[in-house]
Structure 1
Amino acid sequence: MSLYRAETRRLMKRRFTKVLAIGCLAILAALAVGTFFTNQKVGPAAIAAAQARANEDYQNALRDTEQQKQQCVAAQGTERASDFPPNCEEITPPSQDDFRYEWYMPATFSFRTNFPEMVLALAGILAMGAFVIGASFVGAEWSSGGMMNLLLWRPQRVRVLGTKLAALLAGIGAFTVVVSAVWTGLFLLIAALRGSTAGMTSGAWQSIMLLELRAVVLVVAAAALGFGLASLGRHTAVALGVTVGVIVVFQFGLATVLALARVKFIEAYLIPVWADAWLSKQVRLEDYESCNFSATQGCMPDTLTITWQMAGGVLAAVLVLVVGAAMWTIRSRDVT
């Protein structure tokens, strides 16, 4: 049996891999069930009911405004005059546009509008699972001594580690593609039963497919990152410890220091913003403490746009650094 087939078989047969994969699927299933039961299909009856509620609230607001105006007029010259504006004509009734019936509609799942958010949730859940699976896949062998035994009959160190990584990425990638396809079909069904699939043009489908492709890349990258960190530290706990350290230092400590230093665009130094930019194509940050005066728009804050190309470059650089270091260390360090 080839080394690649053996590593693929080992990945699929590991109890930890199965448990974590089932756990991720259970979370996704709960999210889908929750979406199904918290949305409903909107018909003429629901629209009519929403219009009736909007009109009722509008009429009530008109009556309340008229009462306040009458009380204002009656209070003139009395102690209560201070409770109202000096000119009672300033108490104006609301507009019909302030009570749009769309705001009274029940929740309904629009596939075109809401499904991208579900893809982001899918990517986040699977990426976390892939990171842990990737770390444990190689970390467990280092800590148990299995790597040393394997290198006795396969002494090509870089080739062995590279084959393990290839088997991991192929397995995680295939699993993510299958889950993504099922996820899309499941929410298409939810939209058909509890919402709408209107507006799904060829361009809309292309946008969703590209979003899911970027999600697959993110999940595979998370697996590679976990694998690389665990291989560098030769233990699964090292990858998890580095992750916790990065979260504590960069997400909380660094953000606090930058805020105290009044650094612009603090969010640009935080990891989730770059992941969001990769998936959502771009993230626009604003510095509300700055002011660029415009004669037509007033005071406008400075902005910084992080594109998916920028996020992809950062992600690629991190992977090259971590995985490259793992390959270099297994070639240069003693296997003990």
Structure 2
Amino acid sequence: MSLYRTELRRLAKRRFARYMTLLGLLVLAAVLVGTFFTNQKIDDTVRAKADRQAEQQYEEQVRYAQQERASCEQDKAAGKADDTHRYPPDCAMIQPPPREAFESQWFLPSTFDFKESFAETLVPFAAILALVGFVVGASFVGAEWSTGGMMNLLLWRPRRLTVLLSKLAALLTGLLAVTLPAAVLWFAGFWAVGVFRGSTEKVTSGVWQSFALTGLRGVVLVLAATTVGFALASLGRHTAMALGGVVAVMVVGQFGLGILLEMAGAKFVEAWLLPTYALAWMQKKVTLQNWDACNATYTGECKPATFDVTWQHSSLLLGVGVVLILGVALWAMRRRDVS
């Protein structure tokens, strides 16, 4: 019997893996449904309503300005002292704002522009499935160690690295089997949101290619997070090792490091934090700003110093991290006693 197929069946039968995957998919479905019901298609009727609201807002400001100017003139005619400096020296200065200051677009409801907004939805898609993959990967191998199943398996197939890598291959296959259909449904779902609750105009083949590449990077992120969770749990021989390690890194390492860097006055603190690189991986580039370093322009405007974190930086960090953690787990599997 193939070890790989055996591990696939074992993964499919694990209740925790099924429930965790279902929970992640339900969260994604909730995001999609919430986006559908919180957006509205803009038509001529909606635009006309927004125009009326803008006109009403302008008329209210005109009436308010007239009342204030009349009150100002009455107080000055009566010789009342303006101790609170409510009015200007000349009451004629009280004028309503110009009509063009009230734009109709301010009163339009939220609408989903597929071309402009869909790329942003791929970030939570990848983040949620990466979390699911990390937890499922950690529990898949962690449970084997904690229950003694790994020792029994090695009696049947004593080649340690083959056993561990077969488990990892089955795990990644299972995650791909969930992630790829979910990605297709995600694209189709938000396209439907654009059709019925927004706009799908100007979506060219180049736009689709860009979305597809972003989605591919999201899949890679999911597989990387799954591998890291699997490797950490294997290294610690318990699911809690992976979960505790992440808590330590994110809370102690990242949060504490951020505070220390802020206190030390370091530039571009976010460049030292892992979420920045995950976001840069998905968005291709994240521009950090340092407002303490003001670069004055010839107009006197203050422009902050900037630093770009690109997807190339993220790919280097992501690749080295995954290879290092998995390599240590394989080394430990080969060298340590499994009893």
Give the match for residue 59 of structure 1: 59
Q: Aligned in 2, Cα 1:89/1:273: closer, same or farther, shift over 3 Å?
A: farther
1:241-279 per-residue CA deviation (whole Å, 9 max, x = no partner) reads 001111211332111111111111111122221111111
| Distance in 2 separating the partners of 1:63 and 1:110 | 37
| Distance in 2 separating the partners of 1:204 and 1:75 | 62
| Distance in 2 separating the partners of 1:137 and 1:59 | 65
Question: What RMSD over aligned residues (CA atoms) do the two structures have, in Å?
Answer: 1.6
Report the TM-score when normalising by structure 1.
0.95
Secondary structure in 2 aligned to 1:325?
helix
| Distance in 1 separating the partners of 2:249 and 2:329 | 19
Secondary structure in 2 aligned to 1:80?
coil
| Distance in 2 separating the partners of 1:13 and 1:5 | 12
| Alignment equivalent of 2:206, drawn from 193, 203, 228 | 203
Give the match for residue 127 of structure 2: 124
Deviates more, 1:270-279 or 1:129-138: 270-279
Counterpart residue type for residue 137 of structure 1:
F
| Distance in 1 separating the partners of 2:99 and 2:114 | 30
Q: Residues 154-169 of structure 1 correspond to what in structure 2 (within 5 A)?
A: 154-169=157-172
| Distance in 1 separating the partners of 2:120 and 2:93 | 43
Q: Aligned in 2, Cα 1:261/1:2: closer, same or farther, shift over 3 Å?
A: same
Q: Aligned in 2, Cα 1:129/1:61: closer, same or farther, shift over 3 Å?
A: same
Give the match for residue 225 of structure 1: 228
Give the match for residue 8 of structure 1: 8
1:79 corresponds to 2:95: no
Deviates more, 1:134-143 or 1:260-269: 260-269
- Cα deviation for residue 63 of structure 1 reads 2.6
Give the match for residue 34 of structure 1: 34
Secondary structure in 1 aligned to 2:202?
coil
Q: Aligned in 2, Cα 1:88/1:310: closer, same or farther, shift over 3 Å?
A: farther
| Distance in 2 separating the partners of 1:90 and 1:330 | 81
Secondary structure in 1 aligned to 2:292?
strand
Give the match for residue 312 of structure 2: 309
Segments of 5+ residues of structure 2 without an aligned counterpart are: none
Secondary structure in 1 aligned to 2:82?
helix
Counterpart residue type for residue 79 of structure 1:
A
| Alignment equivalent of 1:99, drawn from 99, 102, 110 | 102
Give the match for residue 322 of structure 2: 319
Q: Aligned in 2, Cα 1:192/1:333: closer, same or farther, shift over 3 Å?
A: same
| Distance in 1 separating the partners of 2:338 and 2:243 | 22
Secondary structure in 2 aligned to 1:283?
strand
Q: Aligned in 2, Cα 1:101/1:171: closer, same or farther, shift over 3 Å?
A: same
Secondary structure in 2 aligned to 1:291?
strand
1:296 corresponds to 2:310: no
| Distance in 2 separating the partners of 1:213 and 1:224 | 17
Segments of 5+ residues of structure 1 without an aligned counterpart are: none
Secondary structure in 2 aligned to 1:274?
helix
Counterpart residue type for residue 294 of structure 1:
T
| Distance in 2 separating the partners of 1:297 and 1:175 | 54
- How many matched pairs? 336
| Distance in 2 separating the partners of 1:105 and 1:33 | 21
Secondary structure in 1 aligned to 2:130?
helix
Identity, % of aligned positions: 49
Counterpart residue type for residue 44 of structure 2:
P
Counterpart residue type for residue 126 of structure 1:
L
| Distance in 1 separating the partners of 2:184 and 2:178 | 10
Q: Aligned in 2, Cα 1:292/1:18: closer, same or farther, shift over 3 Å?
A: same
Deviates more, 1:275-284 or 1:65-74: 65-74
Q: Aligned in 2, Cα 1:312/1:73: closer, same or farther, shift over 3 Å?
A: farther
| Distance in 2 separating the partners of 1:128 and 1:297 | 46
- Cα deviation for residue 31 of structure 1 reads 1.6
1:124-181 per-residue CA deviation (whole Å, 9 max, x = no partner) reads 1111111000101111101111111111121211121111111111221231111000
Counterpart residue type for residue 82 of structure 2:
R
